Homo-oligomer: A and B are copies of this chain.
Amino acid sequence: MNRPIQATIVTQNLKDNLNKVKNITNQRFVWAVIKANVYGHSIKSAFEGFSQADGLALLDLHDVHELRKMGWTKRILLLEGIFSEKEIPQIIQNECSIVVHHFLQLEWIEQYLSKLTPFEAEDFKSRVEIWLKLNSGMNRLGFKSGEYGLAYNHLIHLGFKVHHLTHFANADEESVFPTVADQWEIFEHTTQWMDGFRSAANSSAILKFPHVHADWVRPGIMLYGASPTGKYQDIAHIGLKPAMILSSEIIAIQEISKGDTVGYGSRFVAKQNTRVGIVACGYADGYPRHAKDGTPVWVFLPSPSDSQLGVKVGLIGRVSMDMITIDLTAIPQATIGSKVELWGEHVPIDDVAMFSDTVGYELMCAVTQRVQLKVL
């Protein structure tokens, strides 16, 4: 890759963030949620950064294989369970815990069991723990309260070890129905007479609702140093550290006059003579095309004593496929080759997300294959 754009993953920050979760939750068991290629951070970084997690939670069997090959021996949870009966042998071989969220998945398990010898069946049940999923109001995956006991009894009868899991719809929005309290009540009530661990808390619930931490918490976005609400100020006091730094360089500079326009659709019109920096980073790298004028970009300035010295400037003009344009009028020291940070240590990813009407989650996951990933 010759373009200067790069994503740097700071593994130490993943470790520190996980540690924060352990402290906040009073040392609860932690499923580190690493789906979507570890929210764009790479499996390698998760293996190292979350070595102290009690388990890793994800979706793709492909990632499971990779983690076991790297030497991960602790639990792995498939958050959507199996997509067909034919995945079961790999589940057993890799000792995965699996979510069961639908009767069809139960049928697949039962069908598969019926083909096994008693010894093989025992092996299956000793290697694979099941996390039954309750739909307590999210209305996405999971059994409704009325069906949940049926599924539970069935699995217990088959001889499986069964745990309990649900997911909140509004842990980051206090007054929207169903609330965390509503869903938690349904979860507690439905599972009260059952054995097994309970897990409900995502990042937002970890931060705001200690009474739902239960046995296992499931942090995602906070492990990567971004805010579950999308607002950086909501997590600023906690000291989470950004794990991904997206950086690039200025590849051209244009001096334009008052009244001149920049880029597609001429969205930016210069109110004064303006020095425009062109940065090798566009929406095909994963930078959000929705970003408005003023979205912050950090430009590093030459300094013999401080490698982090820089200035926050604003995006101007529409994001192109391979480039963005920024206002360098205030910093004549910036030149072709000057380094910029798109998000990371100086520009919270949440701030870029806010200027693009989205959340940090989407930006992290959207960094594309053509961006070189460097794991520190």
Contact = CB atoms under 8 A, between A and B. Distances in A.
Interface string A167-204: 00110010011100000000000000000000000000
A290 interface: yes
A252 B59 contact: no
A369 B370 contact: no
A362 B283 CA distance: 6
Interface stretch (A12-20, A255-263, A297-305, A340-348): A255-263
Interface residues of A, number: 69
Contacts of A264: 138, 169-170
Secondary structure call for the A interface: loop
Contacts of A82: 2
A51 to B, nearest CB: 23
B321 A83 contact: no
B366 A286 contact: yes
A263 B141 CA distance: 10
A278 B177 contact: no
Nearest to A356: B290
A323 B82 CA distance: 15
B135 A290 contact: no
Contact of A37 (B140, B361, B370): B370
Q: For the complex of A and B, list the 3 residue pairs with the smallest distance between their C-beta atoms, beginning with the closest.
A: A36-B284, A284-B365, A2-B61
Interface of A: 1-4, 35-37, 39, 59-62, 80, 82-84, 87, 101-102, 104, 135, 137-141, 144, 169-170, 173, 176-178, 251-252, 254, 256, 260-266, 276, 278, 280, 283-284, 286, 289-290, 317, 320-323, 325, 336, 357-359, 361-362, 365-366, 368-370
